[in-house]
Amino acid sequence: MAGIPPTLIIFFAIFTFSTLAAVDGESQSFSRTMPLESKKLKREKMSHLHFYFHDIVSGRNPTAIKVAEASSTKTSSTGFGMMVIIDDPLTEKPENTSKLVGRAQGIYASASQSEVGLLMTLNYAFLEGKYNGSTLSILGRNTVMSEVREMPVVGGSGLFRFARGYAHAKTHWFDPTTGDAVVEYNVYVIHY
């Protein structure tokens, strides 16, 4: 750089930087950058949600139904290959007569050969108060024999737009003869 005046170097540095910034912020016909405030996205907050998840596989009105399994699933000690679709009630208290706050709708699949480990892909569809119509999406691993299982919250809609966080699941009650379970959930979610 010997011989180039320092002012020229500074000029080029500023010029190059501002050119890059202009390209980065450039609008295309199909996209534009917007300030967060234009969608009323001011400050992030954290919400703690607490509810009970009722996974009823037995009886006349099951909320979780097995839709598929492999021929080897019946002989697998972990139920590997089983797939279940759920529309499980979420309630305020553990009793099934407690107030309904939402439903967990989606799929879980037995995806581990070494322990009972479920792939959970589901939405919590909330029904209560201001949350009515808003959803949170869960995609995670649920080793049901563990004391506490953690699953990521990967997104949301409505009041939970741009959500991210995690859900902690703890079995509250399990009937080994029917397979019915009530699971306590503590969900921590950051959203606007």
Q: Which is nearer to ligand NAG, 16 or 96 (CB)?
A: 96
Residue with the two structure tokens 């234009």: 38
Minimum distance between the CB of residue 145 and ligand NAG, rounded to whole angstroms? 22
Strand partners, 188: 48, 166
What distance lies between CA 37 and its chain's CA centroid?
25
Stretch that binds ligand NAG, among 17-25, 116-124, 126-134, 141-149 (CB under 6 A): 126-134
Report the distance separating Cα 183 and Cα 26, nearest Å.
Answer: 49
Q: Which is nearer to ligand NAG, 41 or 127 (CB)?
A: 127
Report the distance separating Cα 50 and Cα 92, nearest Å.
Answer: 7
Q: Which is nearer to ligand NAG, 117 or 156 (CB)?
A: 156
178 binds ligand NAG (CB under 6 A): no
Residues of span 86-105 touching ligand NAG by CB under 6 A: 96
Minimum distance between the CB of residue 128 and ligand NAG, rounded to whole angstroms? 6
CB 167 within 8 A of CB 138: yes
Report the distance separating Cα 11 and Cα 17, nearest Å.
Answer: 10
Number of residues that bind ligand NAG (CB under 6 A): 4
127 binds ligand NAG (CB under 6 A): yes
113 binds ligand NAG (CB under 6 A): no
What distance lies between CA 52 and its chain's CA centroid?
16
Q: Which is nearer to ligand NAG, 39 or 133 (CB)?
A: 133
Among 56, 55, 51, 88, residue whose Cα is nearest residue 185: 51
User: SS3 of 131, please?
Assistant: helix
133 binds ligand NAG (CB under 6 A): yes
Stretch that binds ligand NAG, among 26-34, 77-85, 125-133, 147-155 (CB under 6 A): 125-133
- What would you measure as the largest C-alpha separation in the chain, in angstroms? 88
Interface ranges with ligand NAG (CB under 6 A): 96, 127, 132-133
